[in-house]
Structure 1
Amino acid sequence: MERQKEFTGSDKGDSRLSALQTNTSAVRAIASAVEGTLGPKGLDTMLVDNRGEVIVTNDGVTILDRMEVKHPAARMLVNVAKAQQEEMGDGTTTATLLAAALVEEGAKQVFRGVPVAKVIAGIGKGVRFALQKMQEIARPIWELDDEWLQRIAFTAGRENEDISELVIEAAQMVGREKLMEKNFKLCDCVVAHPRAESEVFAGILINKGRMNLQMPAYKHDVRVLAVGDALEPEPVDEEALATEAGFARQMELKDEFLQVIEKLIQMDIGLIVVDRGVDPVAEEMLADAGVMVIQRVHHRDLVKVAEHTGARIVKRSALRKTPEELEAAIGHCEEVEDHEPYQRIRVSGGRGKPFATILVGASTEEVVGERERICKDAASAVQAAVRGGFLPGGGAAELALAREVEKYRDSVQGMERFGVAAVAEALHRPMAQVVANAGFNPLEKVEAVKALQLKRQSDSLGIDCDRGNVADMIEMGVVDPVPVKYHALQAAGEVSTAILRIHTIVKMRDLPELTE
């Protein structure tokens, strides 16, 4: 009991704060699982399952996704990391640390006697102010050969020069317009294989092989058809098949379908990509005619094929059209090749939208998995920087924002200012953790940077993690994309206030299972 009194700062050990105390402890435990990976001196975490399988990584979302988490508040924090990964593809550890720091700092204010509603309101104001200031100090990137974009790729790529070069080459290949598209993610262009030679090529890889080994493994100057349906005869209702008329109709549809296949062969279609199954007779006819067919392709890959080759995805009913009418749906690419060792098909040189594929190789399955994660992080960071610019890294920008939030706190009336103060304190956490991971005293170093930032009115001063002295992060080339930092702080603010708002934790009773 004495321990609880000491923690809450209350002589009574107010039971109303027990949920907050429990949630804060759970959130702190989750943050401690990933905080050691942050920064250039961050270390890896080894994940081991019940079967002895091992993953060695310093990727925050991988650690959180694979670790066993039971506490509901802790799961909320894990979901923040997943949302950060899904939206930005990078910054998961920063988002987790900021969220945990906001919960801890907010809880401290509540334990001091500040009403939780006022703390939550203040955190909301502080986060919104910090996000606004973040946009104001952003440095834009106008060209894809900008040296800062290369530095961002190098930093996000954990200083793997080969990976950063692959990512920049891919970004230049697809172009700025494609990178700015809302639904396009450069990280989706990353493919890994333990036996592959790392490279970038103008095209796509389909995670399938040709459906029949009698079909050609390579074709040049190829006309492409994308079918968003089954390449099979139209089905006949089972009840109708029991009648003579229904059986006759089935035979008629089969004959019509085989005529369609003959037509496609005569139209010199070289590649047919289907998102469902293919009729066995059609498969044999197409194989004999030298047509490569890929069946049961994921719809995402089918869309890529259509966009890259300039094809239009059609349903099987549209295949009855005349050759002249169907011609508008036909795409074209320079090469199609079935890479049997990789069990993937390469489609390159399409006449449609530009696509790039980053193929990452390594010596083992464990290493290639980590290299794929690193490459995806670098690709996401590069795309984010193109879209929103960059800021000084190493926690320098957050520390500068903390200074601005502290000024803003003085203008806030009432007890909400304590919530704003919690935001300012939480923004110290990224640099403090980077410094601690580098082996230096975080309190000493962060205060030194803070004083010098104020004196020089700079937002780019941080700590050189090799020497331990204050240095300009921009001059060192340590920068981060604005959208990654923006989303991390925004998400952290949302989840922290949601956790602080929890007043009581109640276990739900098990509902009886419904029986038919």
Structure 2
Amino acid sequence: MSLKSQASAGSEVNERLAALISNANAVRAIAAAVEGTLGPKGLDTMLVDRFGEVVITNDGVTILTTMEATHPAAKMVINVAKAQEEEVGDGTTTTTVMAGAMVGTGLELVLKGVPVARVIEGLRKGLQFALEALAAKALPLDGLEDPRLYQVALIAGRGHEDIASLVVEAARLVGEDELRRPAFKLADIVVAEEGAENQVFRGVIISKSRLNRQMPERLEKVRVLVVDDALEPEEIEEEALRTEAGFARYLALQEEFKRNLKKLIDLGVGLVLVDRGVADIAEEILTDAGIMVVQRVLNRELRRAAEHTGAKPIKRTGLKKSPEELERYLGWAEEVFEEEKLEKVFLRGGGKPMATIVVGAATAEVVGERERIAKDAAAAVQAAIRGGVVPGGGSVELAVAREVERRKSEVRGMAAYGVDCVVEALKRPLAQIVANAGFNPLEKIGDVIAAQAASGKDSLGIDCDTGEIKDMVEAGVLDPAPVKRHALKAAGEIAEAILRIDTIIRKKEDKPESGEGSKDGGAG
């Protein structure tokens, strides 16, 4: 074949695979944006918006969800990262890096002549082998007192000992049953504040101030009402107010509202938490009665406060109930007080023990990053309790890669090439961790593979300070098994989705219905 014919054939191949090449490049670009943050020697990323506002972070999901991305394949990866964060709260960088490796390896195989269908078939089998091997390597924890739990928090918390201690203390206070409850997320109880002291507060914190300074700053043995609505009279339509009957109705509702507030005072309510706004008349009456009111409370905090105090959220129409009925909606707290410096209200000692992790920060610039670190640590601790731990530092992925390679012979035909997508992806975490630490990844991967094979220890990895072989379990480098499983599975799903796309077509714009939005107002 002449050089001209070869060039023409190559051009035809690239044109036929244009969608795959474009998508693969986008995925690898997204992976490149976060891979530098991986491992103990990973560096930070600076994100700058058009107004010059800066976020400096090492958190993968923050980088991915904040960065500007226009390519459809890049957006797919970002959406998978969001799902990973929502499901297990950590591991987004690992997911993205492995997805980039799978797609990149898949593209190389296709360019060499392996049909896409066979690559996908092999990728699925390799993923199945890997998930089975990973599940078998999970080490269960011995309850909340297991010292390995602190190591999990320390690794996920990027070496911040104070944060790791806070998270473990909070987990023990919350209890194992609560940590295993699907609806509960330990990361949701993290609050970071400039100038605050690190603590695990045994109660709930509302991130709002009392309605005015005339209301009491501190109360003890408090009856609590939670209003999942606005605290104001029922509304009358403006047109109705112009009629005599409508205005009379308005006055009657105002009087009824005042009577309802009087019932709350007579019941001894000391704290009222309101989802929305508070009418001026309510503020005046409740202030005179010495009741603390907090308005526009975040829905998540309102629910936690209700759960902690035992209060049942009530709508404003529910305030019409008799005092005996209202009594059943009230909760109780041992102490309520406002920290004016932090502009927050603290509820301590309710019927159900709850915890809030307060993480202090010296300056406003680091508040957000301290909070992200604490949330990662909390999510990792909860995942470890639910599903055990595995050796970290990329060691377990490399051990699983060796297992997948051994089972590659079970896959027939050209699909066997597709298994390499998973093998290469499993090698990427350790390769990137050691590269970020300043070592040659090819050399170190070879050293670890040889050491694991010779010793039979899957926990051998690389000490990022010295570059020497080290047992990750003995070094306390542990990761939650569910995070690893979910990261691998999510990476496989996004890689398959990208490899399956054969053509990219721009959608036409939706046109308005006939007769609507026409420029000339009629048929042409």
Where does residue 42 of structure 1 map in the other structure?
Answer: 42
Partner SS state of residue 273, structure 2? strand
Structure 2 match to 1:364: 363
1:450 alignment counterpart: 449
**Alpha-carbon distance in structure 1 between the residues aligned to 2:101 and 2:463:** 23
Partner residue in 2 for 1:81: 81
Larger deviation: 50-59 or 460-469? 50-59
Aligned position for 2:429: 430
CA change 1:142–1:324 in 2 (3 A) is farther
In the aligned structure 2, how far is the partner of 1:107 from the partner of 1:9? 17
Match for residue 152 of structure 2?
A: 152
Between 284-293 and 177-186, the greater mean CA deviation after superposition = 177-186
- Which segment drifts farther, 502-511 or 152-161? 502-511
Give the equivalent residue in structure 2 for 1:223: 223
Q: Which amino acid aligns with 2:284?
A: E
Indicate if the aligned counterparts of 2:125 and 2:411 stay in contact, CA closer than 8 A.
no
CA distance in 1, matches of 2:58, 2:9: 36
Look up the equivalent residue of 1:59 and give its one-letter code. Answer: D
Shift of 1:337: 1.3
- TM-score, normalised to structure 2, is 0.93
SS of 1:336's equivalent?
strand
- The answer as to whether partners of 1:186 and 1:383 remain within 8 angstroms in 2 is yes
1:266 is the counterpart of 2:269: no
Tell me the residue number matched to 1:321. Answer: 321
* Structure 2 residues without counterparts, runs of 5 or longer: 519-524
- Note if 1:470 corresponds to 2:469: yes
8 A contact 1:9–1:112 mirrored in 2: no
**TM-fit CA distance, 1:424:** 1.4
Q: Is the 8 A contact 2:338 2:345 kept in 1?
A: yes
**CA apart distance, 1:219:** 0.9
Q: What amino acid is the match of 2:452?
A: Q
Greater mean deviation of Cα atoms: 455-464 or 230-239: 230-239
Query: How many Å separate the matches in 1 of 2:517 and 2:132?
Result: 54
Q: List structure 1 runs of 4+ shifted beyond 6 angstroms.
A: none
Q: Contact between 2:216 and 2:291, CA under 8 Å: does it hold in 1? A: yes
Q: Distance in 1 between matches of 2:253 and 2:458?
A: 71
Q: 1: distance between equivalents of 2:189 and 2:260?
A: 34
Q: Structure 2 counterpart of 1:291, which letter?
A: I
Question: Which sits farther off after the overlay, 84-93 or 44-53?
Answer: 44-53
Q: Distance in 1 between matches of 2:420 and 2:159?
A: 35
Q: What do the CA deviations read for 1:216-251 (whole angstroms, capped 9, x no partner)?
A: 111111110111122222233445444433332322
The 5-angstrom pairing of residues 235-274 of structure 1 reads 235-274=235-274
- The correspondence of residues 408-423 of structure 1 with structure 2, limited to 5 A, is 408-423=407-422
Percent identity at matched positions?
57
Compute the displacement of 1:361 (Å).
Answer: 1.5
Residue 461 in structure 1 maps to residue 463 in structure 2:
no
Q: Which amino acid aligns with 1:376?
A: K
Pairing 1:191–2:191 present: yes
User: Does the aligned pair in 2 maintain the 1:10–1:111 contact within 8 Å?
Assistant: no
Specify whether residues 250 and 51 from structure 1 end up closer, same or farther in structure 2 by C-alpha distance, changes over 3 A only.
closer
Letter of the structure 2 residue corresponding to residue 367 of structure 1: V
Letter in 2 for 1:276: R
Q: Please provide the CA RMSD for this pair.
A: 2.0
- Correspondences of 1:87-486 after superposition (within 5 Å): 87-352=87-352, 354-486=353-485
- Cα displacement string for residues 475-500 of structure 1 (whole angstroms, at most 9, x for unaligned residues): 11101001111111111111111111
Taking the aligned partners of 1:191 and 1:499, their CA distance within structure 2 comes to 38
Distance across 2 between alignment mates of 1:480 and 1:30: 24
> Which amino acid counterpart does residue 428 of structure 2 have in structure 1?
R
Cα 1:67/1:11, change in 2 over 3 Å: closer
2:522 alignment counterpart: none
Deviation at 1:253, TM superposition (A): 2.2
2:198 and 2:479 map into 1 onto residues whose CA distance is 25
Alignment deviations for residues 44-95 of structure 1 (CA, whole Å, 9 cap, x no partner):
1222333333222211112222222222112212222222222222111101
